[in-house]
Amino acid sequence: MSQLSTHYVDKYYNVIFQSSDKSDDVIKVPDDRIADFLALLQASSWDVKYIHSSGFNDYLKGEYGLADYQFSEAQLNALDQFSTTWSRNNAARYMLNPTMVNALRMGWGEALSQWTNPELVATGLSAGILGLQGLARGTAKGGGKASFKGAKYSDKVLRQMNKADDIYHAFPKSVDGYATKFGQWSTKIGADGKIYQWLEMPGSYGGKTGTFEFIKDANDLINHRFFNIP
């Protein structure tokens, strides 16, 4: 039986944290408070029950307030069809930010939760993804673009893109478009303590397999465009 969770998101509705406090509220953490929020979670990580308690989460709701976007009754009914808290949270993640990566995560989450039933596993991936497309916030195609819209490359990145023999930086610009559609967005704290948006997409180029990485700062400047080969 799945359990209700409060979903903490950034301004792009990327999920930062999900607590099992028996609530389905969506809380948007302001950009200037994400670092403090992550630090609070880390400092409280020794007491898991406290982090997932209604008292702790009610306090944070009072601090940040509810996001403009909340799950509808139809969405909550759909989420209740998922068999575990893990798969339910993956479905909620997809509804909030419907990228292809989140769709696949949702499908695999439900399929693996039902691994004892081969028939459910076989249908879980396609049914999970297709069944919720009409209930997601926007569309999978639009989710990434909304986060990337208006971004510009820094002078450093433009110089690197013009070095034809640089496999790590001079990959085709068309990759950027695919990444906005199918990549995974996340919010991370840089070594300088500032908030950055990461966009990552696995792929291949030049006979190598790795991850295409993009990092955007608060001024919508992309200063990191890199093909990370393990």
Please report the pLDDT score of residue 5 as a whole number: 86
pLDDT per residue over 86-105, tens digit each? 778 888 888 888 776 777 66
Instruction: State mean pLDDT over 3-23.
Output: 87
pLDDT of 19 strictly over 80: yes
pLDDT per residue over 115-148, tens digit each? 444 443 333 434 444 445 555 665 433 344 445 6
Please report the pLDDT score of residue 108 as a whole number: 58
pLDDT band for position 196 (cuts 50, 70, 90): confident
Model's pTM, two decimal places? 0.56
Q: How far is CA 33 from the centre of its chain?
A: 18
pLDDT per residue over 71-89, tens digit each? 888 778 777 777 677 778 8
Q: What's the CA angle centered on 228, arms 226 and 230, to 5 degrees?
A: 170
Q: Is 75 helix (H, G, I), strand (E, B) or coil?
A: helix
How many helices and strands in the chain, by DSSP H and E?
10, 8
49: tokens are 């029950």
Report yes or no: 19 and 6 within 8 Å, Cβ to Cβ: yes
Please report the pLDDT score of residue 133 as a whole number: 53
In this predicted model, which residue has the larger pLDDT, 141 or 11?
11
pLDDT of 27 strictly over 70: yes
pLDDT of 228 strictly over 90: yes
Please report the pLDDT score of residue 93 as a whole number: 84
- The values of phi and psi at residue 55, to 5°, are -65, -45
- Looking at the chain, the whole-number percentage of residues with pLDDT higher than 70 is 77
Please report the pLDDT score of residue 1 as a whole number: 45
b vs e for 19-36, b when ≥16 Cβ sit within 10 Å of the residue's Cβ?
Answer: bbbebbbbbbbeeeebbe
| Sequence ranges of the domains in the chain | 6-139, 145-228
53: tokens are 């308690």
Give the residues across from 185 on adjacent strands. 199
| Closest among 13, 40, 21 to 98, alpha carbons compared | 13
| Whole-number Å distance between alpha carbons of 147 and 198 | 10
pLDDT of 28 strictly over 90: yes
pLDDT per residue over 52-75, tens digit each? 998 999 999 999 988 988 888 877
- The values of phi and psi at residue 49, to 5°, are -60, -35
| Whole-number Å distance between alpha carbons of 135 and 90 | 14
